Amino acid sequence: MELAYVCDWEKRPKSTHCPSIPLVCSWSCRNLVAFTTDLKNDDDDNKDVSHMIHIIDTDHPWDVYSINSGHAEVISCLEWDQSGSRLLSADGDGQIKCWSMSDHLVNSWESVLSSSLDGDPIVALSWLHNGVKLALHVEMSGSTNFGEKFSRVKFSPSLTLFGGKPMEGWLAVTVSGLVTVSLLKPGGALLTASESLCRLRGRVALADIAFTGGGNIVVAATDGSSSSPVQFYKVVVSVVSEKCRIDTELLPSLFLRCTTDPLRREKYPAVTHLKFLTRENSEQVLLCASNQSGSIVECWSLRKEGLPVNNIFQHRSPVVGEKQPTILKWRILTTTNDLERVSAVALPKLPISISNTDLKVASDTKFCPGLGLALAFHDGSIQILHRLSLHTMGVFYGSSSSSGPGQRPGDESAIKRQRTGGPALHFKALQFSWTSLALAGVDNHGKLHMLRVSPSMGQVLELNTTLRHLLFLLEYCMVTGYDWWDVLLHVQPTMVHNLVEKLHEEYMRQNQALQQVLATRIVAVKASLCKLSTATAARACDFHAKLLLIAISSTLKSLLRPHVLNTPDKSPGDRLTEICAKNTDTDIDKSLQQLIQWVGDFVLYLLANLPNQVRARQDGASLGHAQEMLVMYPDLGSAAAPAACPPSPPPQTPDRPDHNQNLLTYECCLLPSQLLVPSMDWAAAHDGVIVKLQGKQPTEAAVRKGLSMSAGGGASTPWRSPSSQKMDNLRCVHMGVCPTEESKACTRCGCVTMLRSPNKTNAMKQWEQRWIKNCLCGGLWRRIPQSQT
């Protein structure tokens, strides 16, 4: 593990950020990180504390969006939904709020729903499961079929509507032993119900929530004392007569092993952490017991064991004799030795099965992501432990750790300076990314640290093995739709070319239906990879142009499609010509002028550079889109159509394809002397931190609006240079040197467009509605501060 960057707070004269207690952090599948701090005011007249929620995009950590949550008490839980677009927050007063993006911007949020249990603090919170579960088969990472690498697991939603559609909502556990469920009805109303976990309600200090394949919910709870049992409850949610109903059932419980050991019976009096190993597996749980100076971690598993029956009953009951009755029991898998005091725990989200067979396969293939859990200690260090065996896989020493990389073991003066300088810097909250290749930690000063987690966990791997592991995770992100920023953290510039080629080869081996689904995602992944190397930066521009060409082609064809067209005996070219002939909508001619002009310029640019672009000839799909656009030009009446039509090609010879290709190349070489070929500048300037991290040097980012403060200083913006023309990459129009309109930029590719539409026509509105939530590449939008525009 190594440090990637640190987000420090900008110095303010009247207020200071301090970590909340407890401090919570959550990481979404779109690589948005939410964490909490308290904002203290130093004014004499106002001593109030504001409970803040901060949301950052991991590629733009300096652009933080801080929300004054309005919670009366400290925030105890944060939880993203499965899509990464909504956030739940709960506090110590029993209030739960649901936050959603305002105008679909990652740096603009608003509270849309809320529920409350007045005076009952929330200790655990989770969204209901939607029934979607994907399994990774590490042993099939070398397979060419995505269906063999990633398979859909049969998993029932927590609650379904009519027709089997999953019902959205959330579930929370309170400190008094209540479980509360809030369901989002299709009309937008909130249906809420509460029920006690058991008949005898008791105090719940820690709790966690997991889901079973049958649609049930399992809650683990403890009162915080290591001498008390850890209780497990099955929760079933249903809707009866438009009312929410909650049924609970007590499951087998367990006592910590350390309490039965005579040497440790009273050494660790408090249970400080309680976590299920995976969200979709309620049969394995992690427990941590601590004292003032140390901790111990135990891993337990729920197993089905045979119940011994006396021989007398076996002879009298033939049923018992044939099949031995079974019982569920918690059995300890492994435990650690005495550790430094644990301050935070993070569990991986990568859906790798954790059976012994699968773990052995992962060990043989040296595939480490998703196998380890992270423990943060009060000395500032972080350890990655194996999920089942709990042996150490990797260690990170913080800046305040006494055995840090920059300090000699015998340097006692450094230890003395650290002790006299105040409390040691340590992490209060940890969160893994969704591919387990990055780890976010918030320290006791409220700073966010981003750590790289090596896919090899320090092992020396061959280059081909490393490429195969990164390729496997990139394919996983393509199939699931998750953001792949954390994978790019480990891509070296020398790997880019091989990764792009191998990714294309694997994509071409899939069936046509899957290729059509992943057509734009793979182009976006290739563009992100090519930006990491100066040698492939030009190819990144080509991939962005291809994304725009595909989008324009699909939009124009949808606008030109007539209601009735029965021509099954005609070729695709004849059908497209007939569609254009039947269309009489003049609104398209005027409103989509800029997009049509861009396609015409692109075709000219492509033909003029065809002799030098061997790869362009191999991309038949892009050439097919361009040909379709040329067929549609005459009907649209665009001014770009005459310029976009190249000179008439020479007569073709069917029996001599090489001769025909040479003639086409010859004509394309003469094209610049016959027409004015425009220069294309379609790629937006990428201002993310991922490019700055290619030097493997830690970066310090000051959290302030719109400025990227790196270790070397200087601020970067999404524009190329201060005096250049600003381009709306989505509408293909120039915005001037000093734009007056508010703009937004893509968090993934840097594409910039105006926030408000200047067009009133229906055709252009249809084009803009396609990209109101996401960019062409699938990235999210963020508002650009007015100071940059």
pLDDT in tens, 724-741: 677 788 887 777 777 778
CA distance 344 to 444: 11
Above 60 in pLDDT, residue 722? no
List all residues 6 or more positions away from 695 whose beta carbon is below 8 Å from its beta carbon.
none
Render pLDDT for 527-541 as a digit per residue (tens, 0 to 9).
899 888 888 888 888
* CA 269 distance to own-chain centroid: 37
- Check residue 28 and give its pLDDT: 93
Q: Which of 1-10, 70-79, 607-616 has the highest mean pLDDT?
A: 70-79
Name the β-bridge partners of 68: 52
Cα 66 to Cα 36: distance, rounded to the nearest angstrom: 9
Identify any residues that bridge with 332 across adjacent strands, giving them in sequence order. 300
The residue among 769 and 604 whose pLDDT is bigger is 769
∠ CA 662-664-667, rounded to 5° = 110
What are all long-range contacts of 241-247, with beta carbons under 8 Å and residues at least 24 apart? 242/191, 243/191, 243/193, 244/181, 244/183, 244/191, 244/192, 244/193, 245/193, 246/179, 246/181, 246/193, 246/194, 246/195, 247/195
CA 405 to chain centre: 31
pLDDT at 714 over 50: no
Specify the residue for token string 């559609």.
165
Closest CA to 495 of 540, 538, 460, 465: 465
Q: What is the pLDDT of residue 235?
A: 93
Q: How far apart are CA 247 and CA 196, in angstroms?
A: 9
The pLDDT-based confidence of 483 (bands split at 50, 70, 90) is very high
Both tokens of residue 432? 């893994």
Burial status of residue 776 (CB atoms within 10 A of its CB: 0-12, 13-18, 19 or more): buried
pLDDT band at 630 (very low <50, low <70, confident <90, very high): low
Looking at every residue in the chain, the average pLDDT score rounds to 78
Rounded Cα–Cα distance for residues 575 and 583 (Å)? 12
Helical (H) or strand (E) element with 555: helix 537-560
670 or 514, greater pLDDT: 514
Bridge pairing between strands 2-9 and 699-703: parallel
**pLDDT confidence bin for 253, thresholds 50/70/90:** very high
Burial pattern 419-441, b for ≥16 Cβ within 10 A else e, equals eeeeebbbbbbbbbbbbbbbbbb
Closest CA relative to residue 379, chosen from 338, 335, 339: 339
CB atoms within 10 A of CB 676: 7
pLDDT value of position 237: 92
Q: In angstroms, rounded to a whole number, what is the distance separating the alpha carbons of residues 735 and 208?
A: 51
pLDDT at residue number 642: 40
What percent of the chain shows pLDDT beyond 90? 26
At 457 the pLDDT is 75
What does the pLDDT read at residue 583?
A: 53
Counting every residue written for the chain, the total comes to 789
Mean pLDDT, residues 627-635:
57
How is residue 772 annotated by DSSP? S
Contact 460, 23 (CB under 8 A): no
Q: How confident is the model at residue 366 (pLDDT cuts 50, 70, 90)?
A: confident
User: What global pTM score does this model have?
Assistant: 0.84
Provide mean pLDDT across the span 289-296: 90
In this prediction, what percent of the chain has a pLDDT beyond 70?
A: 72
pLDDT digits (tens, 9 = 90+) for 224-234: 998 899 999 99
In the numeric block, the tokens 């915005």 are attached to 735
Neighbours of 727 (CB within 10 A): 22
Asked if residue 553 has pLDDT above 50, the reply is yes
**Of 357 and 775, which is predicted with more confidence?**
775
740, with CB counted inside 10 A (0-12, 13-18, 19+), is exposed
Count of beta carbons in the 10 Å neighbourhood of residue 770 = 15
pLDDT, position 766: 77
pLDDT band at 680 (very low <50, low <70, confident <90, very high): low
Q: Where are the alpha helices (DSSP H) in 400-449?
A: 412-420
- In DSSP notation, 720-731 reads S-TTSPEEETTT
Query: In the structure encoding, which two tokens stand for residue 442, read together?
Result: 């918030």
**pLDDT tens digit sequence for 418-450:** 343 446 788 999 999 999 999 999 988 888 999
- Ramachandran angles phi, psi of 335, nearest 5°: -145, 155
Confidence of residue 31 (pLDDT cuts 50, 70, 90): very high
Q: What is the pLDDT of residue 765?
A: 77
Q: Can you give the three-state secondary structure of 628-670, one letter per residue?
A: HHHHHHHHHCCCHHHHHCCCCCCCCCCCCHHHHHHHHHHHHHH
In this prediction, residue 645 has a pLDDT band, given cuts at 50, 70 and 90, of: very low
Instruction: Of 66-80, 220-234, 616-630, give the lowest mean pLDDT range.
Output: 616-630
Provide the pLDDT confidence category of residue 377 given band limits of 50, 70 and 90: very high
Report angle CA 113, 115, 118 to the nearest 5 degrees. Answer: 150
Structural tokens at position 533: 């190397």
pLDDT at residue 564 is higher than 50: no
Would you place residue 709 in the very low, low, confident or very high pLDDT band (cuts 50, 70, 90)? very low
Per-residue model confidence (pLDDT) at position 484: 92
Region 135-144: mean pLDDT is 79
Which of 580-589, 653-662, 765-774 has the highest average model confidence (pLDDT)? Answer: 765-774
Of the pLDDT bands very low, low, confident and very high (cuts 50, 70, 90), residue 656 is low
| 55: enclosing H helix or E strand | strand 49-57
Closest CA relative to residue 720, chosen from 756, 681, 776: 681
Instruction: Report whether pLDDT(562) > 60.
Output: no
Q: What is the pLDDT of residue 411?
A: 38
Helix (H, G, I), strand (E, B) or coil at 360: helix
Instruction: Give the per-residue pLDDT at 11.
Output: 57
Q: What share of the chain is helix, strand, coil (3-state, %, to 5)?
A: 30, 30, 40
Is the model's pLDDT at 711 over the cut of 60? no
Token pair, residue 78, equals: 């944060």
Half-sphere exposure of 247 (CA within 13 A, CB side): 6
Residue 80: which of 372, 614, 483, 546 has the closest Cα? 483
CA distance 522 to 514: 11
Question: What pLDDT, in 10s, does the model give residues 155-183?
Answer: 899 988 887 889 999 999 999 999 999 99
pLDDT at residue 65, as a whole number: 87
Predicted local confidence at residue 700, as pLDDT: 58
The residues near 740 (Cβ < 8 Å, ≥ 6 apart) are: 789
